[in-house]
Structure 1
Amino acid sequence: TCELLCFLVKDCGFPPYMDGATVDYTNTVFGAEANYLCVKGYSSSGNGTTVCLSSGSWSETDLLCSASFHSTWQQVATTKASSTTLHQKQKLMNRLSANCKPNVRVKAGFKAWDRVTYLSSYDKRMDGKCFGQSVRGLTKSSWDSFETSPQREFEIFVPHAQSTHMSVDDSRTVTKSSYDGNFIWLVKDDQCMSTSYSSDSGSVFTSLFEGEADPFFDTYYLDENTNTACGQRTVHVSTNPVMTFQTPPYWYVRKDCPSGKHILRWNVTGEFHNTEKNFYSKPWCPDTCWHHVFNTKTSPTNNAKHIRHLFSGVQYGHNVMLKVEHVVTKAREVILHDGHVTVGVKEFWLPADNDAFSSGSLQAWMIASTTGRVVECAHFPESFRVKDIKKEEKHSDWFLDSRQWDKVLSIDGTGTVLSGSKSTLLNNVNEGRSLRVGVLHTNGIYKALDLDTVDVSRTGQIAANIIHNVDLVLGRGNNVRFTDTCRMVSSIITTEGSYKIYTYNIGAGGNHSIVTGVAKIEWFIEL
């Protein structure tokens, strides 16, 4: 009888995490059953039932969850200053003209390293010529270090193997240069992108509630009174007709609403320039590879199991998307700490509704935690002046991406390989594949980051460049907050084990530092 009683109180703990699946259970003691189900974006085979055994472990399950869709990166064109063929140029222009805009990367060679950079925007002009712009970066003194006083830098690539480079320092002085080079253009064939798009505002609204965001936009604002959605994106820096940067340059922030397209232009000197309004909208191209994990309002009794699924998914390389009240946006960085998940999202612009988008607009950053805590910083553009920092409790929906990620390399803080290989990572980087980095600190905090550009040294080492995250302060009890000035952080993380950051305010300089206490750096490639 005593032996039987011991079996009855035996606890197996949480069922093991299975990538691509959720697990449902009511308790974890001896005899309890748990059932695994493959999530959206994964196909299933086998039985997903597992039982808590007298040994205190869960029985094996033969369920197999396989990603339904895989993405490939195709080398569409190699453009050379001296010998680019018309066929290569035309092939590239045809791909860039697709209704559902694909992700595009350019691999370019520099004197000291090669760079694979994501294009933040691209377009084809009326004369048939096309161009693409790189994301914002910071100038570097070496392949793994920022300059003493880094400048913001931008680059325009054109298929004629020409590039225009522009840098802007804190005094708003602009420097431009041009060069001819050899560029490899890589275009993503993303099977998660729906080809049966619709511009119907009701369909867009419904898709967003299912986590099917169009990756063209950074952030969405939902109006539940009218069932409509507006998408926002910081598109590009102003160019002139010959596809070089204008002086002075302007940032373009685009917003698409059912009432038409709005564009806000902001000069680097902090001067609002003008707005434009054109009554047409971009076709809707939903990304179907996201699944809903939980809602902090409707799932309070099951939060532990849902948060654990989210927590483990991030450790397997997946990213997080968040809906907080009216705002839907993808995570820029994810922090795992004290059993909770905290995300920092890319900047968006306030007010975010249909009509207000003017000289009074503010830049905004948001951090949110599975505890329900949300902090928002409203910031005056092109300055270090903060208007307001709000800390509130808000209900939120959490999504996890359903793509398959493979951890191809794990190193310690000295660059020593723990698992995988640097050569495998290098091969995938050269193919232009999407890359994420996870950093485990010795204090137990895990941080997962989205990357902007990837540099490859002449010795085959990899440097991940992360630009413009907001500086976060992590306190006790998962108390994450902004610094008082909402400072920004740019980082360089390398396969040599170095992790260097530059913390700064635009127009007010900054500080360099080396991140210590790094236990492990993990490198994930999207399959």
Structure 2
Amino acid sequence: MTRPTTIEVSNSLDVHGQYPWRLGQIKIGDEYEFPTRVFWLLTTWSTTGTIPTSQWYVGRHISLNSFQDFGSMEWLVDDCWTQVYSHDTFGRGIYGSLDLLVESVLAGKRVRVKINSYITEADNLYVRNGQVSAQLLGQFSKTSAYNFLTNVNWIWQIASITGDVETVRYDIGSTLNRLSSNDKESITWFVASRPWSKVLTTSSSGIVTYGSKANLNTSLQLLQYHRGRQYCHSKLRSCSTVYQVYQR
């Protein structure tokens, strides 16, 4: 089971999903273990039935292997996503409510953005002075919708409701920046509609300002999903940092 971090629809209406957050493993007896030299296992899943894979050693820009597999697939869709806002390349709203997007981010909702033909989930979200920006980290370079380059790079972006999109490309396992760019893009913002329940708020010194740590511990013991969030209160000129944990 794989949850693609980035989805793209090609001109032929085929769907291709990238997934970078997987490491290779080997089977020893009845158990699976990491190899002595751990490597990234980058894959693209396509409705064409192809599964291109590129393997790169962790911490070094050295390719281990690259191949193309084929397989039958089942594609499952979560209908919890709702389009809440979209804007043009200059950040002028053309659909929905910016206030609703800000409210959703501050309520701990998951967010996805659509830029051109691809959709990706935000890894980190920020609200500063009423402006929303998102870090998009789960992408890697390609020659087409699903084929790998010989030299694969991470693609990291910061997308903002102003229409600004900053992109950097770093070689996998290296500090070499292959490309940096600043572009203006039309962006559509989607929000997960599932409710999150706030169970705990703490100050920077760990003092409880809402809820209780006991409730959080109980939720974790029940194996309920949780995540941390850092945000800047939009009514303050300076950036206030608050960590909140939400229970679903």
TM class by smaller structure: 0.7 to 0.9
Matched, 1:367 2:158: yes
Displacement of 1:295 in angstroms is 2.0
Match among 178, 183, 199 for residue 408 of structure 1: 199
CA distance in 2, matches of 1:370, 1:442: 17
Match among 56, 59, 69 for residue 266 of structure 1: 56
Matched, 1:344 2:164: no
In structure 1, the gaps of 5 or more residues are 1-100, 102-214, 447-516
In structure 2, the gaps of 5 or more residues are none
Matched, 1:286 2:77: yes
- Alignment match, 2:212: 421
Aligned-partner SS, 1:237:
coil
Kindly tell me: are residues 325 and 441 of structure 1, through their superposed partners in 2, closer, same or farther at Cα, counting changes over 3 Å?
Answer: closer
CA distance in 1, matches of 2:233, 2:100: 23
Counterpart code for 2:230: V
- Alignment match, 1:253: 42
Kindly tell me: are residues 445 and 420 of structure 1, through their superposed partners in 2, closer, same or farther at Cα, counting changes over 3 Å?
Answer: farther
Aligned-partner SS, 1:428:
helix
CA distance in 2, matches of 1:265, 1:359: 11
- Alignment match, 1:157: none
Displacement of 1:271 in angstroms is 1.1
CA distance in 2, matches of 1:288, 1:350: 28
Max Rg structure: 1
Verify the 8 A CA contact 1:275 1:358 in the aligned structure 2: no
Displacement of 1:325 in angstroms is 0.8
Verify the 8 A CA contact 2:163 2:186 in the aligned structure 1: yes
TM-score (norm 1): 0.43
Aligned length: 241
Taking only the aligned residue pairs, the percentage that are identical comes to 21
Aligned-partner SS, 1:425:
helix
Displacement of 1:318 in angstroms is 0.5
CA distance in 2, matches of 1:353, 1:271: 22
- Alignment match, 1:211: none
Q: Deviations over 1:461-496 (max 9, x none)?
A: xxxxxxxxxxxxxxxxxxxxxxxxxxxxxxxxxxxx
Aligned-partner SS, 2:27:
coil
- Give matches, 1:67-146, under 5 Å: 101=1
Verify the 8 A CA contact 1:263 1:275 in the aligned structure 2: yes
Q: Relative to structure 2, which stretch is displaced further, 354-363 or 380-389?
A: 354-363
CA distance in 1, matches of 2:226, 2:163: 29
Q: Deviations over 1:287-329 (max 9, x none)?
A: 11110112213994556x6111000011111111011112211
Kindly tell me: are residues 292 and 419 of structure 1, through their superposed partners in 2, closer, same or farther at Cα, counting changes over 3 Å?
Answer: same
If asked which structure has higher relative contact order (CA below 8 Å, sep 6+), I would say 2
Displacement of 1:355 in angstroms is 4.8
CA distance in 2, matches of 1:277, 1:302: 41
Displacement of 1:221 in angstroms is 2.2
Match among 199, 221, 244 for residue 33 of structure 2: 244
- Alignment match, 2:20: 234
Match among 166, 171, 186 for residue 380 of structure 1: 171
TM-score (norm 2): 0.88
- Alignment match, 1:522: 244
Q: Deviations over 1:492-522 (max 9, x none)?
A: xxxxxxxxxxxxxxxxxxxxxxxxx755322
CA distance in 1, matches of 2:154, 2:51: 19
- Give matches, 1:152-301, under 5 Å: 216-223=3-10, 225-242=11-28, 243-259=32-48, 260-268=50-58, 269-297=60-88, 300=92
Verify the 8 A CA contact 1:221 1:353 in the aligned structure 2: no
Verify the 8 A CA contact 2:167 2:182 in the aligned structure 1: yes
Verify the 8 A CA contact 1:218 1:232 in the aligned structure 2: yes
Kindly tell me: are residues 441 and 307 of structure 1, through their superposed partners in 2, closer, same or farther at Cα, counting changes over 3 Å?
Answer: closer
Aligned-partner SS, 1:251:
strand
Counterpart code for 1:253: L
Counterpart code for 1:408: V
